[in-house]
Structure 1
Amino acid sequence: MKLGSLKAGGRDGALVIVSRDLDRFVEAKGIAATMQQALDNWTDIAPRLEALAKQLDGREVAGEPFDATLFSSPLPRAYQWADGSAYLSHMRLVRKARGAELPANAAKDPLLYQGGSDAFLAPTDGISLGDPDWGLDFEAEIAVVTDDVPAGVTADQARGHIKLIMLCNDISLRNVMKPELQKGFGFFQSKPASAFSPVCVTPNELGSAWDGGKVSLPLVSTFNGEEFGRPDAGTDLSFDFSQLIAHAAMTRSLAAGTIVGSGTVSNEDYRSVGSSCLQERRMIELLDEGEIKTAFMQAGDAIRIEMFDARGTSIFGAIEQRVVASRK
């Protein structure tokens, strides 16, 4: 089943079911008004949404033409957004940029930060750049959405709490980040609003590409019309989503609608598959050529993030954003 939220529904969107081929959508009127309402009552509501999805795919329901510009992020705002850093190759490269070493227990203990979740960008919204010197960067990721997760859940138990999967552009301001982290209290100013794919899917939509904790498909980033990277999201992953959720819920419960991110998708073979953010490319250039050649994002730059199934069909639709200079 594929779901999304229309911007026309207000701050929390209007829940819709999207056809498997991303061709049409139908509103979930009479079932659930919003994505959050569906997640709050998932056991009762999901079967009704699935029945309507079958009707839409079987063309028993006509629906409306799919247009990503009509869609907000699946959850336009969320009770919680916790982002991980589950790919050690990414951690090594970006920490090198700020002169930091990997934590000694990096391979055994996941990193998570609490992101801003009060308002997400829509998948086709512009990315506002207040100052070109801030070092604007995209970060292509996978994210999952949970139902209610009890405190102390195990990784095996956490698998059953993953209800939806989507893509993310976790936007970063790299030159704001380094001095901020040196304070020892985590991200805040360096992490503006993230954006998510227009469509989220239930795990069964991914077939064999989903093993209960990770997606094993390439994540494709296209920067200014040229492919930038296609690392496989299931390769070189140190912590899958079940482990990240269990880590987040060690001492507290997670409310339905919690979003958990993988962190920037990255493979150890980054020279062949490319990268999912500019900072990685910059550090590879420094290692290979002795100098950084790639600039951070500027007004007019465009990023597209998308994932395709084995037949080459887009699964989640695309995050497609352009940088705009903010007015002062």
Structure 2
Amino acid sequence: MKLATLNNGSRDGQLVVVSKDLTRYTTTDIPTLQFALDNWDTATPALQAAYQQLNEDKSVGESFDPEKCYSPLPRAYQWADGSAYLNHVELVRKARNAEVPESFYSDPLMYQGGSDSFIGPRAEIHAQPEWGIDFEAEVVVVSGDLKQGATPAETAKSIRLIMLVNDVSLRNLIPAELAKGFGFFQSKPASAFSPVAVTPDELGDAWKDNKLHLPLRVTLNDKLFGFPNAGQDMTFDFAQLLSHITKTRDVAAGTLVGSGTVSNKQDNLYGSSVEHGGVGYCCLAEVRMYETIETGKPQTPFMNHGDTVSIEMLDEQGNNIFGTITNKVNTQY
């Protein structure tokens, strides 16, 4: 099934069930997505029944407008973002002539982001150009409750929903923060999630091995910027990422875990871009790393006022699965 949260003026919005083709929605007695996640076994029958009726009867429901959506979880108890595509990490390290530590291949990188509020899927990014405004297109899972020490086999069963995210990064603020030895904070502002969250069964054969095997499409200022396959070159699957965060703690229903920037292995700068026949990129930092490695310095600028990024994923028939994230930069807020 497909779920979204409409902006009804309240902080947590109104949970709605969205038709498979994303054209219509209906409500149930279940008020919010967090309530559904907290009561998953008892809530899902009613949600599933509403979903089935929407898809079988075109007269049911109201017109669905992503412009009126919050992120599916407007706020969450936890937002933990991994870096599961080590090609991205390898490029960053290579650009500064540093080796990737061997532990990175067996122990996932992860940071804990702010989750008290997210921006909407069609909201503006408020930031200053000197901060180095970048987008990061990723896949995200939403978990149920998990106990400390949960194994990947156990965490795989707890994956309730899947979404996309634009994990906004302020690249020029990152080095000074990391140099303090205490991680990201100001350099990681509010993220934007896809209008719609879907259950794993909606993805069919594209969801296997706890990975989503479809291209993630990124458009920058109406030009295709990248479409790497999210199922390729993912060193750690979502079950492993979830197991990683349960090592020292219980995990509450509604926890969000991101994949990190989707990145496929490519040969070089002049073969990796969409224009040169490659699959492109899911963030500006990655093309800037290629440029630094091959030309000595980055040439592609970060985002500025008015720049717009769109992120979406299509199924094999070309249907939009999650709706489209579209965020415009406003430096004059």
TM value normalised by structure 2: 0.95
Where does 1:142-221 land on structure 2 (aligned, <5 Å)? 142-221=139-218
Aligned residues of 2:135 and 2:284 also touching (Cα < 8 A) = yes
Q: Which residue of structure 2 aligns with residue 227 of structure 1?
A: 224
1:274 aligns with 2:280: yes
Aligned residues of 1:5 and 1:72 also touching (Cα < 8 A) = yes
Aligned residues of 1:159 and 1:212 also touching (Cα < 8 A) = no
Aligned residues of 2:95 and 2:293 also touching (Cα < 8 A) = no
1:44 partner amino acid: T
2:303 alignment partner, SS class: coil
Write the deviation string for residues 35-80 of structure 1: whole angstroms up to 9, x where unpaired.
Answer: 0000000011011100110001111662111111100000000000
For 1:194 and 1:100, the matched residues in 2 are separated by 29
Q: How big is the shift at 1:156?
A: 0.9
Among 249, 253, 276, the alignment partner of 1:252 is 249
Q: How big is the shift at 1:104?
A: 2.5
Q: How big is the shift at 1:96?
A: 4.3
1:124 aligns with 2:130: no
1:4 alignment partner, SS class: strand
For 2:13 and 2:332, the matched residues in 1 are separated by 25
Aligned residues of 2:131 and 2:171 also touching (Cα < 8 A) = yes
1:106 alignment partner, SS class: helix
Q: Which 4+ runs in 1 deviate beyond 6 A?
A: none
Q: Which residue of structure 2 aligns with residue 295 of structure 1?
A: 301
1:157 partner amino acid: E
Q: How big is the shift at 1:103?
A: 2.6
Measured at CA, do residues 7 and 101 of structure 1 come closer, stay the same or move farther in structure 2, by a change above 3 Å? farther
State the aligned residue count: 324
2:172 partner amino acid: N
1:254 partner amino acid: V
Among 60, 63, 75, the alignment partner of 2:61 is 63
1:267 partner amino acid: N
Aligned residues of 2:95 and 2:292 also touching (Cα < 8 A) = no
For 2:207 and 2:259, the matched residues in 1 are separated by 14
1:13 partner amino acid: G
1:251 partner amino acid: T
For 1:100 and 1:74, the matched residues in 2 are separated by 39
Aligned residues of 2:218 and 2:312 also touching (Cα < 8 A) = yes
1:179 partner amino acid: A
Aligned residues of 2:197 and 2:322 also touching (Cα < 8 A) = yes
1:263 aligns with 2:260: yes
Aligned-residue sequence identity (percent) comes to 54
Write the deviation string for residues 85-136 of structure 1: whole angstroms up to 9, x where unpaired.
Answer: 000011122344566542321111001110000000000000001x211001
Q: Which residue of structure 2 aligns with residue 113 of structure 1?
A: 111
Write the deviation string for residues 228-267 of structure 1: whole angstroms up to 9, x where unpaired.
Answer: 0110000000000000000000111100000000000000
For 1:95 and 1:321, the matched residues in 2 are separated by 29
Q: Which residue of structure 2 aligns with residue 312 of structure 1?
A: 318
For 2:171 and 2:209, the matched residues in 1 are separated by 33
For 1:42 and 1:61, the matched residues in 2 are separated by 28
Q: How big is the shift at 1:297?
A: 0.4
Q: How big is the shift at 1:287?
A: 2.2
Provide the alpha-carbon RMSD of the alignment: 1.3
For 1:258 and 1:12, the matched residues in 2 are separated by 15
1:25 alignment partner, SS class: strand
For 1:237 and 1:289, the matched residues in 2 are separated by 27
Q: Which residue of structure 1 aligns with residue 275 of structure 2?
A: none
Q: Which residue of structure 1 aligns with residue 17 of structure 2?
A: 17
Q: Which residue of structure 2 aligns with residue 321 of structure 1?
A: 327
Unaligned runs of 5+ in 1: none
Aligned residues of 1:203 and 1:210 also touching (Cα < 8 A) = yes
For 2:40 and 2:49, the matched residues in 1 are separated by 14
1:151 alignment partner, SS class: coil
2:252 alignment partner, SS class: coil
Aligned residues of 1:219 and 1:306 also touching (Cα < 8 A) = yes
